[in-house]
Structure 1
Amino acid sequence: MYKVFIDNSVIEFLDSSEEIPSKRYDSVLNSLQNDLSKLLDQFNFYDSSICLLVVYEDFDMALNQVFHAYEFMDAAGGIVKCDRRYLFIERHGMWDIPKGKLDANEQPWEAAVREIEEECGIQGPTIDHLLGITFHTYSYMGRPTIKKNWWYALHYSGSMEVFPQEEESITQAIWIEKKEWNMIRENTYDSIKEVLDMAKDF
């Protein structure tokens, strides 16, 4: 299953071979039976909390149909672990996980390491495994944009001194234990909560 976060709303995309979860959806649509190109016009995603399910045969096709008017952007980042502590940043007054856009011809895992190093000032975190992929929408340079994020679990054994990247509006970077993750959850985005869930066993 893939999830696209739109402010407080979410569209879940489920492969047709999988069983539909036993939860409440505002609407369930089948990509072969419904015109997905008009889906975003049918619901007030930005002023309410909507949860939709789209059952697809081809995920890329279904995603492109729903978000045909959006620019697509790729990004990568991750949760860094050093001993029993994990690295988080504060940006625009919200807790976040270091991440950023892929450069040309850059692989997601390369971008994740580079962005973490740039945004937090540490050197040499190493990829452990891919946690998962999320999508979220936002406005970039005045254009509606959907960002695909690759999220990784990384290990780190260097100095825990951090240098938040101020030009990226990062006001602080902190190392905290997992028992303190509730502090992050209380002031973060739904897409980041999803990544925390992915990393619960890391």
Structure 2
Amino acid sequence: MYKVFVNDKPLFLTNEISKETDFQLFLLDSIDIEQVIVKMFQNKIKKAYLYHPDESVIMKTLKAKIPVNKAGGGLVYNKKGEVLFIFRNGKWDLPKGGTEKGELIEDTAMREVEEETGVNGLTVVRKLQKTYHVFKRNGKYKLKITHWFEMNSDFEGIPIGQLEEGIEKVAWFKPNEIPEALTNSYENIKLLFEEESEDHEV
């Protein structure tokens, strides 16, 4: 199953019919994906499932309808086991950004962490999951696919937010401070920490 967040509301691409009832279920063959996305942006749909026996077909259809923006981001730990967060648009987020032509996605993630926070001395530990969200820019919908990497950093200076990217604050959070930060974050970021807590003592 893929979870795509549309205006921070979940659109599940699934090959299973769930017994839950608090959502709308659409069959891929009988719906225009773009119409579902429009309704989610208008808050007419809070949670939806798109069904097809082959989930990858749903994702292909979505990518065919909506231009894809590929991005890389980092879940960065320092030597004390604290995690690097940025504060932008009134929410706590993780550093990430779009890939440049010919750039490996791992390099994108490291470059963006450095540019957005000033934190360097990065090493990639492992690849995390990809996250998907649909955003609207200049009246057009785009699907952002972010490739996330867990990283370690031996940086000991003061991180500085990239002002031209609208980053107001950069902070290292201790593991016990992360749940509170996540109450004012995005669903995609919460997903990463769900995965992280399963594999890593957060």
The TM tier, using the shorter chain, reads: 0.7 to 0.9
Is residue 2:63 matched to residue 1:63?
no
Is residue 2:185 matched to residue 1:191?
no
Question: Hey, what's the Cα distance between the residues in 1 that align with 2:21 and 2:74?
Answer: 30
Q: Which residue of 150, 154, 157 corresponds with 2:151?
A: 154
Unaligned runs of 5+ in 2: none
* TM-score normalised per structure 1: 0.85
Moved more, 108-117 or 50-59: 50-59
Q: What amino acid is aligned across from residue 35 of structure 2 in structure 1?
A: D
* TM-score normalised per structure 2: 0.85
Question: Hey, what's the Cα distance between the residues in 2 that align with 1:21 and 1:159?
Answer: 48
Q: Which residue of 66, 72, 77 corresponds with 2:73?
A: 77
Distance 1:35 1:63, change over 3 A: farther
Q: Which residue of 136, 139, 143 corresponds with 2:136?
A: 139
Question: Hey, what's the Cα distance between the residues in 2 that align with 1:191 and 1:72?
Answer: 17
Contact 2:116 2:161 (8 Å CA) reproduced = yes
Unaligned runs of 5+ in 1: none
Contact 2:24 2:45 (8 Å CA) reproduced = no
Q: What amino acid is aligned across from residue 40 of structure 2 in structure 1?
A: F
Per-residue deviation at 1:23? 4.2
Question: Hey, what's the Cα distance between the residues in 1 that align with 2:123 and 2:13?
Answer: 31
Partner SS state of residue 13, structure 1? strand
| RMSD of aligned residue pairs (Cα, Å) | 2.3
Question: Hey, what's the Cα distance between the residues in 2 that align with 1:178 and 1:20?
Answer: 36
Q: What amino acid is aligned across from residue 39 of structure 1 in structure 2?
A: I
Partner SS state of residue 153, structure 1? strand
Greater helix percent: which structure?
2
**Which structure 2 residues correspond to residues 95-174 of structure 1 after superposition, within 5 A?**
95-174=92-171
Q: What amino acid is aligned across from residue 153 of structure 1 in structure 2?
A: E
User: Deviations 1:116-171 (Å, cap 9, x if unpaired)?
Assistant: 01101011211111220111111234421110011111111222421111111001
